[in-house]
Amino acid sequence: MITTWPAPGKLNLFLSITGRRPDGYHTLQTLFQFLTYGDTLTITPQAEDQIQLQTSLPGVPPEDNLIIKAARLLQQATDCRQGAVITLHKQLPLGSGLGGGSSNAATTLAALNQLWGCGLSSAELQQLGVILGADIPVFLYGQAAFAEGIGEQLQPAAPQELWYLVAYPEQAISTAQIFNHPHLQRATPPRTLKQCLTPPYSNDCEAIVKKCFPEVEAVINWLLHYAPARLTGTGSAAFAEFSNQIAAQQLLNKRPSGVRAFVARGVNRSPLQQALANHAKERQGGSWR
């Protein structure tokens, strides 16, 4: 049975770097919200235990692809001897800060957990996910969240579900490059949850990204002419806030040459959670096996 699963994008509505651990990881405070836009995974379970990914990504060797890593990690953790054929329909650009790779891994874990009948809870899947990346747990958590630690300590949040114009140049940015920059702000004082959830928001990585990548700075400056805007994560994408879809779409139609963009709504429940619920309901109803 061929099944289709969303791997939604995310925004960091704000991002504060509060310190750096001895192991090199940065501690942070951030607010995650999901987008109604993202990648899609098509998964066909197999009786044999091989994992086949039928989509390659430029510059990403198969052994480094988080989809394959996630599937194999789930097999190992549950002693599962089933496999899958997976096709990735890519929409989220690499190195954009929209969480594409992390979302792909989370969707792989959650979907195969259900398709293979592994029976792991959301919390157990999150524990597996953080092994592969700090952003993966929030996609498995499935709820907009205030995050601390390295991004894995999550509390539910309910930010306003606005419309966004997300724009980015033809530029992938490595998270490691930004986090290793000597001038990155690493000492923002931690704040209470109430303080963190009160706008206006900012991103501690934005100054470094703009300094190192003038094309990203140009995108942010263009957006700021029309609406509140800032960087998401450590990547190349920035977003502008709108109260309605029409206003965001109007600005999309004015984007400068060389700038890619899309309009999406921020949602507090991940589209993946709805897909998991729908598939579970269908399975219980006996409409597919």
Span 154-170, pLDDT tens digits: 999 999 999 999 999 98
Dist CA 143 CA 220 (whole Å)? 27
Tokens describing residue 234: 């450590």
Do residues 100 and 35 make contact, with C-beta atoms less than 8 angstroms apart?
Answer: no
Q: Domain limits of the chain?
A: 1-289
pLDDT value of position 287? 47
Helix residue ranges, H only, 116-160: 122-132, 136-141
52 phi/psi in degrees, rounded to 5: -115, 120
> What pLDDT, on a 0 to 100 scale, did the predictor assign at position 81?
96
Q: What gap in Å lies between CA 205 and CA 248, rounded to an integer?
A: 25
Among the options 10, 39, 204, 210, which is catalytic? 10
Per-residue pLDDT, 201: 93
Asked if residues 235 and 212 have their Cβ atoms less than 8 Å apart, the reply is no
pLDDT lower than 50: segments of the chain: 287-289
Residue in 221, 235, 219 with CA at minimum distance from that of residue 178: 235
**Is 10 labeled as catalytic in the residue annotation?**
yes
What pLDDT is stored for residue 60 in this prediction? 83
Has domain 1-289 been given CATH number 3.40.50.720?
Answer: no
Amino acid at 171: Q
Tokens of 227: 């609406």
Q: Which residue has the tokens 């263009």?
A: 222
Looking at the chain, the number of H-run helices and the number of E-run strands are 10, 10
The encoded tokens of residue 19 equal 């310190």
pLDDT of residue 288: 43
Q: What's the one-letter identity of residue 24? A: G
Active-site residue identified among 39, 135, 204, 210: 135
pLDDT for the residue 100:
95
* 135 annotated active-site: yes
| 8 A C-beta contact, residue 213 and residue 237 | no
